[in-house]
Structure 1
Amino acid sequence: MTFRTLDDARDLAGKTALVRVDFNVPMEDGRVTDDTRLRVALPTINRLREAGAKVALLAHFDRPKGKVVPSMSLRYIVDELCEVLAAPVQFAEDCVGDAARAALAELPLGGVVLLENVRFHAGEEANDPAFAAQLAELGDVYVNDAFSAAHRAHASTEGLARLLPAYAGESMRRELDALDAALGKPQKPVIGIVGGAKVSTKLDLLKNLVSQLDRLAIGGGMANTFLFAQGIDIGGSLAEKDMADTARAIMAEAKTQGCELLLPVDMVVATEVRPGVAARTVRAGDALSGDDKILDAGPETVARLAAAMDASKTLIWNGPLGVFEVPPFDAATVAAATHAADLTRAGKLVAVAGGGDTVSALNHAGVSDDMTFVSTAGGAFLEWMEGKPLPGVEALRTQ
């Protein structure tokens, strides 16, 4: 892809690299409960250290809204970062000004310093040029390794990239390569799976995908809206009935674009959502009671989806097919995910997934490591799928 990466950087020895990372990690009682986002940054940090650069890490934590909130300080993750990096990590009490300059002056070549929460300054989220300039004063090069924050035009994600030689880090590069393989220049045919609760939250996504894909399977609560729009009885299921016209318009656009829309042909229903509840499988069009709720796709729908995957070369997946958190309504998601993983391991499918509950669903199915790429980026992943430019990525594009 046409983005500057660390392969394009020259003579990093003795320079200070300002590296935007995503360290917005889950915390409990002052301790990191999941270090995934710390580990994701290691390849970039280590590559810069080995090149002889000073590494200054820029990150946000939570939403302090431009004020210093002690409980949202990044100092609480320093010990965990030292542990995963297996090297000392210094901490600076601020991300700009005297404290940051002093920390960098004392840092040896190959050393790492974590600068305080950039969102303690109102200029960060405002993408204030003056604040971006204060950040830029600290370094010689800028590296963005936080794809998950790339959809925000903030000072540390977009403004700073305009002021220094800017490159994508290793994690960012991997994400961009995977997304290019899924939607940019994919092997065709391409199938998409989109699940989730509401059509209204994924309108832009659906409209973009029907113009990009050969097949699109819709599951989860949003499939109920499409079934309702076709006059199919959905009982007391979750649905956005006021979106019926929109659903019909999407179906019409899919037909115009030559995108085959795969909706459930059978469903698993129950009167309540709890583990082990009595459930039954019904066909689309069967009469349902007002207490019946569609909570998962049925086995025939899964078999149809598996056959569609067999006929495809690329899969892009966002959202579960049912209420996977509550067995037995995880069956369709697990079966579809397992089939996708089998095809991927066999080299028959490029499978890229991410956004929303997708990561949790694939972890639940035990197949995350078998997919080609699983993005944890959330909003940025969705906006990319919607076809929207991401400010933090565009700032890295080669001219």
Structure 2
Amino acid sequence: MDKKTIKDIEVAGKTVLVRVDFNIPRNKETGEITNDNRIVAALPTIKYLLEQGPKAVVLFSHLGKVKTEEDKAKNDLSVAAPRLAELLGKDVTFVNATRGEELESTVKNATDGQVILVQNTRYEAGESKNDPELGKYWASLGDVFVEDAFGSVHRAHASTAGIPAHLPSAAGFLVEKEIAYIGKAVNAPERPLVAILGGAKVSDKIAVIENLLKVADKVIVGGGMCYTFAKAMGHEVGTSLLEEDKVELAKSFVEKAEGKLILPIDSICSDKFGVDGDIKECGADVPAGYMGLDIGPKSIELFKKELEGAKTVIWNGPMGVFEMEPFAKGTVAVCEALANLEGANTIIGGGDSAAAVMQLGYADKVSHISTGGGASLEYMEGKTLPGIAAINDK
């Protein structure tokens, strides 16, 4: 990686500002954390910094979307402090402010590597607008900046791109690892490279499909978006998810792909979106009044065959509505196929596919699970990510 990492910077005696990703899922009723993976993922960077003898480690993160006062109450970042303290085995000072006297004095008076967690960055209206004044203000609190929130580096926000405009900056271990895995997979893969794309809409993944058709040896498509491709190839899709305005685009992808694009040949269909409908296997055509909700058994066998011998696999998006047991088989089969690929670099691109891999118990059987769905997708599109671009070059 041509960007500075935390091993390239001096932090002893300094106040280190760290952008982490503590955008953690919580129980809607109780507000309790339901999955602490993102906090755990930040620990290697925080622990390493603490070992270097800094004055303070000041953590910034967003939590949820904040547009109203009700959103503020619902997305109070104080929920993360006790869990972080428990995992670190060290006190964490939570500052219930994003600017002002309390924040400034807490940071100024910190000693002996005190860990400080700042309230939700999105409490500031200027955060998502990358307000230059806000980025400059936050930067004034510290001496050096570490970017370790891969899930947010595709956004040009004050806490991701604004702060490093004013301070020496470096990538934390999590960001370094993400770039190493996803960057190598896209830019210098061991071949054959197979990409698997699922999810609901072609429109969400147009640029990804375009870029991967250039760099991958095969692109397998499942999920709801495959029915737009099916329609483009002249098949009936019943009431399946369909983007009519993207049918011509899908047709052009099929033509340009020259056999690289692998599409399902059958579906698991139902006459209603739920587990209580008339569920049956359908061929390439979905009958009228039915919708495709998962890839079928023939497609599973086809996809497994296409994965044979792959040395690099990138997977982003489930094959069906995997939250419902009757429509989970396609996603489970892809998980199993990746888990059993000998000697392959298998990368799960965040979001629903990461949730599926963890939920189905295959997390330790793949090479890398990305912490950032949107960021990994944009990286696969070949886009420059603002939070990465802002880090100092080596």
Same fold (TM over 0.5): yes
2:200 corresponds to 1:197: yes
TM-score (norm 2): 0.93
Distance in 2 (CA, whole Å) between partners of 1:301 and 1:111 is: 54
> Which residue of the partner structure matches residue 23 of structure 1?
22
Give the aligned length: 390
> Which residue of the partner structure matches residue 33 of structure 2?
32
Change (3 A) 1:242 1:74: closer
Deviations 1:135-184 (A, max 9, x none): 11111110011011111111110011121110111111111111112212
Following TM superposition, by how much is the alpha carbon of 1:321 offset from its aligned partner in structure 2, in angstroms? 1.2
Distance in 1 (CA, whole Å) between partners of 2:360 and 2:76 is: 35
> Which residue of the partner structure matches residue 299 of structure 2?
301
Distance in 2 (CA, whole Å) between partners of 1:119 and 1:275 is: 38
Deviations 1:188-213 (A, max 9, x none): 11111111111122111211111111
Report the residue type matching 1:328 in the other structure: P
Which secondary structure does the structure 2 equivalent of 1:124 belong to? Answer: coil
356, 361, 383: which one pairs with 2:356? 361
Identify which range, 239-248 or 312-321, moves more after superposition. Answer: 239-248
Which secondary structure does the structure 2 equivalent of 1:235 belong to? Answer: coil
> Which residue of the partner structure matches residue 128 of structure 1?
131
Which secondary structure does the structure 2 equivalent of 1:210 belong to? Answer: helix
Change (3 A) 1:291 1:65: closer
- Asked whether the equivalents of residues 96 and 138 of structure 1 are also in contact (C-alpha less than 8 Å), the reply is no
Distance in 1 (CA, whole Å) between partners of 2:254 and 2:373 is: 26
Distance in 1 (CA, whole Å) between partners of 2:361 and 2:103 is: 43
TM-score (norm 1): 0.92
Distance in 2 (CA, whole Å) between partners of 1:145 and 1:375 is: 13
> Which residue of the partner structure matches residue 321 of structure 2?
323
157, 162, 165: which one pairs with 2:160? 157
Following TM superposition, by how much is the alpha carbon of 1:397 offset from its aligned partner in structure 2, in angstroms? 5.2
Which secondary structure does the structure 2 equivalent of 1:351 belong to? Answer: strand
Identify which range, 181-190 or 75-84, moves more after superposition. Answer: 75-84
Report the residue type matching 2:65 in the other structure: R
Q: How does 1:43-122 map to 2 (within 5 A)?
A: 43-53=44-54, 54-65=56-67, 69-122=72-125
Distance in 2 (CA, whole Å) between partners of 1:269 and 1:95 is: 50
Distance in 2 (CA, whole Å) between partners of 1:226 and 1:308 is: 18
Following TM superposition, by how much is the alpha carbon of 1:277 offset from its aligned partner in structure 2, in angstroms? 5.3
Report the residue type matching 1:254 in the other structure: A
Q: CA RMSD in A?
A: 2.0
- Asked whether the equivalents of residues 66 and 121 of structure 1 are also in contact (C-alpha less than 8 Å), the reply is no
Distance in 1 (CA, whole Å) between partners of 2:95 and 2:325 is: 47
% of aligned pairs identical?
38
Following TM superposition, by how much is the alpha carbon of 1:296 offset from its aligned partner in structure 2, in angstroms? 1.7
Distance in 2 (CA, whole Å) between partners of 1:206 and 1:360 is: 22
> Which residue of the partner structure matches residue 12 of structure 2?
13
Change (3 A) 1:93 1:330: closer
2:345 corresponds to 1:350: yes
Distance in 2 (CA, whole Å) between partners of 1:60 and 1:141 is: 20
* Superposed structure 1 runs of 4+ greater than 6 Å apart: none
- Asked whether the equivalents of residues 144 and 172 of structure 1 are also in contact (C-alpha less than 8 Å), the reply is yes
Distance in 2 (CA, whole Å) between partners of 1:235 and 1:123 is: 46
> Which residue of the partner structure matches residue 222 of structure 1?
225
Which secondary structure does the structure 2 equivalent of 1:76 belong to? Answer: helix
Which secondary structure does the structure 2 equivalent of 1:191 belong to? Answer: strand
Change (3 A) 1:342 1:61: same
Deviations 1:277-297 (A, max 9, x none): 553333325xx5312222221
Following TM superposition, by how much is the alpha carbon of 1:104 offset from its aligned partner in structure 2, in angstroms? 1.9
Distance in 1 (CA, whole Å) between partners of 2:266 and 2:120 is: 49
Distance in 2 (CA, whole Å) between partners of 1:364 and 1:275 is: 19
> Which residue of the partner structure matches residue 383 of structure 1?
378
309, 312, 322: which one pairs with 1:311? 309
- Asked whether the equivalents of residues 66 and 120 of structure 1 are also in contact (C-alpha less than 8 Å), the reply is no
Deviations 1:315-367 (A, max 9, x none): 01111112212122211211121011111xx3x21111124321222224321
> Which residue of the partner structure matches residue 274 of structure 1?
274
Following TM superposition, by how much is the alpha carbon of 1:7 offset from its aligned partner in structure 2, in angstroms? 1.6
Distance in 2 (CA, whole Å) between partners of 1:148 and 1:386 is: 16
> Which residue of the partner structure matches residue 241 of structure 1?
244
Report the residue type matching 2:170 in the other structure: Y
